[in-house]
Amino acid sequence: MDPSCVICGRAEESCIHVLRDCCQAWKDLVLANLRNVFGLEYQDVMWQSLFGIICWKLWKQRNLTVFQGISFNSANIIQSLWCWVSYIKTRPSRRSAPMSNRHGNYRWSPPPTGSFKINVDDARNPSLGLASFTAIARDEYGRWLWEIERNIRRCSVEQVELWAIYDGLHLVWDFKWNEVILKTNYS
């Protein structure tokens, strides 16, 4: 098997090469498109949030190329990044949300017939920056289907919620569910 990078073909492939050093993935694809397609200056979006998403998408695309023979598709990566950037830019800041929304009395309500509901909740220690989340999936009858929990370590409030959404939707994809309602603390 050829040890060259499947994306650029210029160097021996390694995790660090794909996620940091691959000129096609970063210079030619990601950075250029962040500036041109999105019209972004880096202060417009929390780079820490976007960086993790970019790394994950690059690694996933690499694995699709290596293990499934799907050729590197920069358009799919850019489209996915655009969706995340749009979400990050338009999402209201948690700092502006009234406390009553966060800690009100909530009662679980079922999703429509034939669909599923995922509730995510996150917690963060601001002084340490440590965060974790839980995502729970239920059917229309309220039956528990699965639950995931994850400690994120150091990250922002926005990042922990994005991780919760991402992991929940990843499982939705794995189960091939079509009708899903995703409920977060602020949705």
- Are the C-beta atoms of residues 24 and 8 closer than 8 Å to each other? yes
**66 secondary structure, DSSP code:** H
* Percentage of residues in the chain having pLDDT higher than 90: 5
> Above 70 in pLDDT, residue 160?
yes
Are residues 44 and 80 part of one domain?
Answer: yes
The structure's pTM equals 0.43
Domain holding 86, by residue range, is 15-90
Give me the mean pLDDT over the 65-84 stretch.
72
- Are the C-beta atoms of residues 40 and 34 closer than 8 Å to each other? yes
Task: Establish if 150 belongs to a structural domain.
Answer: yes
Helix (H) / strand (E) element for 88: namely helix 74-90
Task: Establish if 8 belongs to a structural domain.
Answer: no
pLDDT per residue as tens digits for the range 87-122: 555 554 444 333 334 445 557 789 999 999 998 887
Are residues 147 and 179 part of one domain?
Answer: yes
Nearest residue to 124 (alpha-carbon basis) of 134, 133, 111: 133
3-class DSSP assignment, residue 186: coil
Are residues 62 and 124 part of one domain?
Answer: no
| Residue 75 tokens, joined | 């358009």
Are residues 109 and 175 part of one domain?
Answer: yes
> The domain spanning residue 118 has which CATH number?
3.30.420.10
pLDDT per residue as tens digits for the range 3-55: 888 778 877 878 778 777 777 776 655 665 555 555 555 455 555 566 677 77
Task: Establish if 108 belongs to a structural domain.
Answer: yes
How would you list the strands of the sheet with 144-154, edge to edge?
144-154, 130-138, 116-125, 180-183
